Amino acid sequence: MTNKTAISVDDSIAMLDRLIAFDTTSRESNLALIDDVQAYLGELGIESRLTHDETGKKANLWATIGPSGVGGVVLSGHTDVVPVDGQDWSRDPFKLHRANGRLHGRGTADMKGFIALGLALAPEMKRRNLKTPIHFALSYDEEVGCLGVRGLIKDVVENLPLPRAVIVGEPTSMQIIGGNKGSRNYRTVVTGIPGHSSEPHRGANAIMAGGRICAFLEDVQTDLREAADPKSDFDPPYTTIDLGLIDGGTAGNIIPEFCTIRWGMRILPSDDADAIEGRVRTFIAEEVEPRLKAVSSSAGVETIRTNMLPPLLPDTTSPAEQLLRHLTGLNQSGSVSYGTEAGLFQQAGIPGVIFGPGSIQQAHQPDEFIDVSQMESCHDFLLKLIDWAETN
């Protein structure tokens, strides 16, 4: 049974309207939004703790409602959104538009809706006498590799009581997601020896070498797919290879000196990413580099790992999943193939699940929206969480 509250889902929608108006595309500063949230919480007597990036133009926000000496339950959301560039929006993406039971705007589903619901209920959390604190963790640069939250987690682990559980409010249509794939990203630069294209024997063609690497990545992909466990609940049920960008060469009649390949993988929690990466590195070292080096020792291949995100290891017995099952009455959880901040929290010893309103189908899309009914059901869920935090 939920205590009566004067706060309704309309207050959350008003808060969403406020958050959507900030253009927090990952390449932009998110400080205007963070300042606004900090001021809002400050008026309620809730202190915020900020961790900035190196430039000082972006920040994470951490705030606690309830007792300060113990770890509580974290409501975690990223404040950045993906670009609207090149997308065909019917209206201003940074102005909330309500129509037919839907709330449109960039970030409504992914994931300012969840943040707005939590913030709108902050006065209620403050009014209650919480035994278990509720924390807000708002991050920057999630959409570009979960970069920002790492600083927030470091600050929490080093300076504050370790939270009991984190709810990462990505859009899961209010279903519990207990696992996600990890990811690694790489930049491979092939350096060849340039020359006139009529004399290929005097040069080393970086694009041809790069092409062999790309073809090998496809072979690796095929092997992973053929070894898939059909019982896995991941879709697809195997580690996948990303090969997203390639560039190189200067003209049709010049042997290309450079070829750069951006690739990566999305790794099943049960797979050995080091082994897969090692296989690619071995192929490059044994099959690609020797041919380049035979022309000149200054030719070669360099592969740099540009980002790494741990998977969220499914754990149905974790305090986070147990709490969510208890509060929602759901008795199962799924897995997703995209990366989230939950794996970083888990790696730091903070058990997490992914659970939030709205559909991932709407995330990153033009005319992105969240159903008002999803906002309502998350509002009800958060009220149950508040009740729980008052007595547990």
User: Which residues of the shown chain bind Zn ion in the complex (CB under 5 A)?
Assistant: 110-111, 170
Let me know: does 17 contact 92? Beta carbons within 8 Å. no
Pick the closer one to Zn ion by CB: 77 or 256: 77
- From the candidates 11, 23, 80, 110, give the one annotated as an active-site residue: 80
Nearest approach in angstroms of CB 180 to Zn ion is 11
Pick the closer one to Zn ion by CB: 110 or 257: 110
Closest CA to 322 of 176, 203, 215: 176
**Residue positions counted in the chain:** 392
* 390: annotated active-site residue: no
Pick the closer one to Zn ion by CB: 33 or 280: 33
Beta strands in the chain (DSSP E): 48-52, 59-65, 73-78, 97-99, 102-104, 134-139, 165-168, 177-180, 182-191, 195-196, 240-248, 254-255, 258-267, 300-309, 334-336, 352-354, 369-371
247: phi then psi, degrees, rounded to nearest 5: -145, 160
Task: Tell me the angle at which helices 9-20 and 113-120 cross, rounded to the nearest 10 degrees.
Answer: 130
Chain centroid, CA 247 distance in Å: 26
Q: What is the largest CA-CA distance in the chain?
A: 82
* 226: annotated active-site residue: no
Nearest approach in angstroms of CB 157 to Zn ion is 23
Pick the closer one to Zn ion by CB: 110 or 321: 110
Nearest approach in angstroms of CB 57 to Zn ion is 21
- From the candidates 11, 23, 141, 142, give the one annotated as an active-site residue: 142
Nearest approach in angstroms of CB 148 to Zn ion is 12
Match 């990413």 to its residue by tokens. 273
Pick the closer one to Zn ion by CB: 78 or 128: 78
Position with the least CB separation from Zn ion: 110
Nearest approach in angstroms of CB 250 to Zn ion is 39
Active site residues: 80, 142
